[in-house]
């Protein structure tokens, strides 16, 4: 006679206890279709193609500075697009999960993982979008005959706004959870406006919405309007970058704690 193998019961503490990596992977799998992934993939393409074509007709192009114009204007757009994307993506993603969370919150899974997993998933999408932008800028440099010498600090100017912008993603997700979709999109709008109006001011550090744009300015050597800055401008000081990164890291940590506590107390 053949003996039937008996599967042991799940070990205590393992049931309904997926790791954070599993939660993030599940979030990514659930969001691999629809508006969000296409937006993050296509947004850098949509802003760079017309900007490159426009730079070909600029007066600077006649002096052989086509790529410099293209790079500056693109990075200007990127600095304000990062927080705007954070608000929009958080609003759409959280709203799409409202029905699913009614079921998921009834499980024994630590609820804080849902919040952190959501922020991490949106962060991964933002990283992908930043990489697409870097590829588009590299193509522009190659077409202009300036690759790789003209790239300079382009990679830092592309990825640092994403890194600092994680604080805006965490804020937007928390705002949507607490107050709804409209205020969450408002976080993005505030980031767009503050990036354009506050990032070059002396009090920029007090306005988190301006931080993604602030790290772009000294790296690209431009103002919020895309115009090159004079060498003696205080906006070109690199000391603003580590300060912005440190402030963003602290704010992100605080928001993750606040969001986790909110999810733990959230009623089904």
Q: What is the pLDDT of residue 2?
A: 46
* Mean pLDDT confidence for 68-85: 91
pLDDT category of residue 1 using cuts at 50, 70 and 90:
very low
Residue spans of the domains in the chain: they are 20-265
* Mean pLDDT confidence for 56-72: 82
For residue 11, pLDDT over 60 is answered with no
- First-to-last alpha carbon distance for the chain, in angstroms, is 50
Q: What is the pLDDT of residue 16?
A: 67
Tens-digit pLDDT profile for residues 171-219: 999 999 999 999 999 999 998 899 889 999 999 999 999 999 999 999 8
Pairwise pLDDT comparison (222 vs 245), residue with the higher score: 245
* Mean pLDDT confidence for 4-16: 52
- Judge whether 140 and 71 are in contact, CB under 8 Å: yes
* Mean pLDDT confidence for 235-243: 94
pLDDT category of residue 62 using cuts at 50, 70 and 90:
confident
pLDDT category of residue 3 using cuts at 50, 70 and 90:
very low
CA atoms within 13 A on the CB side of 84: 15
* Mean pLDDT confidence for 10-35: 77
* Mean pLDDT confidence for 55-79: 85
pLDDT category of residue 59 using cuts at 50, 70 and 90:
confident
Nearest Cα residue to 122 out of 155, 55, 171: 171
Q: Judge residue 32's burial from the number of C-beta atoms within 10 Å of its C-beta, 0-12 exposed, 13-18 middle, 19 or more buried.
A: exposed
> Model pTM?
0.89
């Amino acid at each position: 006679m053949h003996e039937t193998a008996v599967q042991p019961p799940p070990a205590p503490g393992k049931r309904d206890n997926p790791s954070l990596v599993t939660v993030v992977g599940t979030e990514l799998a659930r969001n691999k279709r629809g508006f969000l992934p296409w937006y993050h993939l296509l947004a850098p393409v949509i802003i760079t193609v017309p900007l490159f074509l426009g730079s070909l007709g600029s007066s600077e192009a006649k002096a052989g500075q086509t790529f410099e114009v293209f790079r500056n204007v693109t990075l200007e757009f990127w600095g304000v697009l990062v927080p705007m994307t954070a608000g929009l993506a958080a609003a759409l993603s959280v709203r799409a999960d409202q029905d699913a969370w009614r079921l998921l919150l009834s499980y024994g899974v630590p609820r804080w993982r849902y919040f952190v997993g959501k922020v991490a998933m949106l962060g991964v999408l933002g990283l992908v979008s930043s990489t697409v932008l870097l590829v588009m800028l590299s193509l522009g440099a190659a077409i202009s005959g300036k690759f790789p010498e003209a790239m300079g600090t382009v990679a830092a100017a592309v990825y640092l706004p994403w890194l600092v912008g994680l604080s805006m993603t965490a804020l937007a997700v928390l705002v949507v959870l607490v107050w709804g979709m409209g205020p969450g999109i408002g976080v993005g709008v505030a980031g767009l406006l503050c990036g354009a109006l506050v990032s070059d001011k002396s009090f920029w550090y007090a306005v988190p919405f301006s931080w993604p744009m602030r790290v772009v300015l000294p790296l690209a050597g431009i103002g919020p309007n895309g115009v090159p800055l004079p060498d003696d401008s205080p906006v070109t000081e690199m000391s603003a970058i580590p300060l912005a990164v440190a402030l963003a890291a602290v704010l992100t940590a605080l928001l993750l704690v606040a969001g986790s506590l909110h999810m733990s107390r959230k009623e089904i």
